[in-house]
Structure formats: C-alpha cells, structure tokens
Amino acid sequence: MIKSAKLYTNNIKALRRFYVNILELDMTESTSEQFTVRIGESYLTFTQTDKPAFYHFAINIPGNQFSMMKYWITDRITLNREEGRDEVYFPSFDADSMYFEDPAGNIVELIGRRKRDLFGDLTKESFLNISEIGITTPHVVEVGDELQDLGIPLRNGTEVEPNELNFLGRGDTFIVLVPPGRRWYFSKKVAEAYPLELTWNDAHIKLNGEGNLSIE
C-alpha cells in the first residue's frame, strides 16, 4: 500500500487551489512551501521547488461509481483523450480509467476497480487511495531489482524490462517503473526523471533527480 507520496512543483499555489477547490480533497497541512491532501487511505504532498516537474500517478475509485465520477469530473475539468476516447478498459486489471492533467502538468489517472464498490452518493471518500506512482529512471533494471529486494513483486514475472512499463506491486497498488522518453498513456508528455518520495507500507523510498533510489 502507498501510504504517502511527496512530489515536487514550481506551481504550488495553483496546485493547492486545484486539489482543494476543484477536487474538494481534505487538506491536512498547508504552508507557503508545501501542502498535503488526503486521498482516502493515502496522503499526497506537493513541495515547492525552483524547477518545473511533472509526474504520473493514479487514484483508485469504486468501479460502480466510475460513470458518476466521470460526470462530476467533466463538469470541472477536461479529460485527456487517446485515439478519440476519454476512457479505457484494462482487461488485465478489470478496471476502467480516465485521465486528466492538473495545473502543473501532472498526469492523473482515476481507476475504477470493477470488483470494488462503494454504495451511496459520490463524495470525497470515493477517492479511495493512491493506486499508482510512476517512477522514471534511466536505471530501470537496478531500481526494479531494489524494489523487488524490498518485497515489492514484479507483476507477471521477475525480470524487469528496461525499455517498457513495469508494474511492481500487488492487488490494486503499484509502482510504475519506466525509462525516460517513453510517452505516458493518454498524454503527449514523455516520461522524465524527477525526485520523489513515497512510503510503501513501512518503507520510505526516495528517488533523486538522477533516478537513483534509496530506501529507509
């Protein structure tokens, strides 16, 4: 499980307004240099930096609320499109996804897990948890091996593919390991390496700007 994630941005004010005013998430911390919002069981922090940065991350939502969420989202922002579509079904995950970008250009995916339902009205509790965090690094194999040594399994095998998307995790929570230069799905952006931090269960994982990993 991804308990928390810290990402970096040079557009902190716009992001704070977006996640609190547009997505209506609960803010648990706010200073001039960073803020944190609660995404169900997870926490997402943005920290001010001098240089622009963008990431891909995903949020789990209930499968039975996917259509309601899409209606709610498209009343507020424009969804990204891929080959004319603004949503996609992934059979291997039994999940539907839609994508959008926030003011800093982060590519946000909402994943409706068809086997995970939440009955009642759509609320902020419909954002269940952080589902995926993209890690971009030129050292894909080395980082993948370190994550596997930590006990985070590679989906569908044990050998990391250096030039492909690699999913490490289980259930409905994954680290998406990718080399620089690969285009993110439902986006015109190609992956670039930026620093980030995340807490996976009880392990604190840190990636620096050169794509090197450290684990505490």
pLDDT at 157 over 90: no
What is the model's pLDDT at position 92? 92
Instruction: Write out pLDDT tens, residues 49-89.
Output: 999 999 999 999 999 999 999 999 999 999 999 999 999 99
pLDDT at 178 over 90: yes
CA separation for the pair 149, 129 (Å, rounded)? 24
CATH class, range 2-215 = alpha beta
What is the model's pLDDT at position 158? 83
How far is CA 214 from each of CA 34, 57, 58, 199, rounded to the nearest angstrom? Answer: 22, 20, 23, 12
In percent, the amount of the chain with pLDDT more than 90 equals 97
Per-residue pLDDT, averaged over 110-125, amounts to 93
Among the residues of 75-199, which ranges form H helices? Answer: 140-149
Q: What's the length of the chain?
A: 216
What is the model's pLDDT at position 93? 93
H or E element, residue 168: strand 166-170
* Buried-state track 124-163, b at ≥16 Cβ within 10 A, e below 16: eebbbbbbbbbbbbebbeebbbbbeeeebebeeeeebeee
In the chain, the N- to C-terminal Cα span, in Å, equals 16
| pLDDT band, residue 156 (cuts 50/70/90) | confident
Least Cα distance to 35 among 8, 61, 3, 55 occurs for: 8
- State CA 27 to chain mean position distance: 18
Please state whether the predicted TM-score (pTM) of the whole model is above 0.85: yes
Give me the chain's average pLDDT, please.
96
pLDDT at 128 over 90: yes
> What are the residue boundaries of the structural domains of the chain, listed by start?
2-215
